Amino acid sequence: MGISVGKGRRCTVLARPQDEKEKKIRELSTELSRANQQIAQCQEQLKIILKYIEHANHLTKSVQKIVENVKEIEAEGQE
C-alpha cells in the first residue's frame, strides 16, 4: 500500500500511521498511569475511612456496655 511515486515517498506515507499509533500509545499509557495513581489515592483514603469506621464501631460498643452497666447499677440501687 502507499503511493507508488518513488520508494522514499512511500516510506514516509507508511511511517505516519505508525507514528500516530505510537503517539496514541504514549497518550493512553500516560492516561493509564494517571488513573492508576488516582486509584492508589482512593485506596488509601478508603483505608483511612474504614479504620475510622472500625474505631467508631468500637466506641459505640464501649458506650453501649457503659450504658448497660449504669442501668444494672441503677437497678441494683433500687432493690
Mean pLDDT of 4-8: 49
Coil, helix or strand at residue 30: helix
**pLDDT tens digit string along 11-68?**
555 567 888 999 999 999 999 999 999 999 999 999 999 999 999 999 999 999 999 9
> 39 versus 2: which is more confidently predicted?
39
User: pTM score > 0.75 for this model?
Assistant: no
Coil, helix or strand at residue 5: coil
Give per-residue burial for 41-65: e unless 16+ CB within 10 Å, then b: eeeeeeeeeeeeeeeeeeeeeeeee
Give the cell for residue 60.
459505640
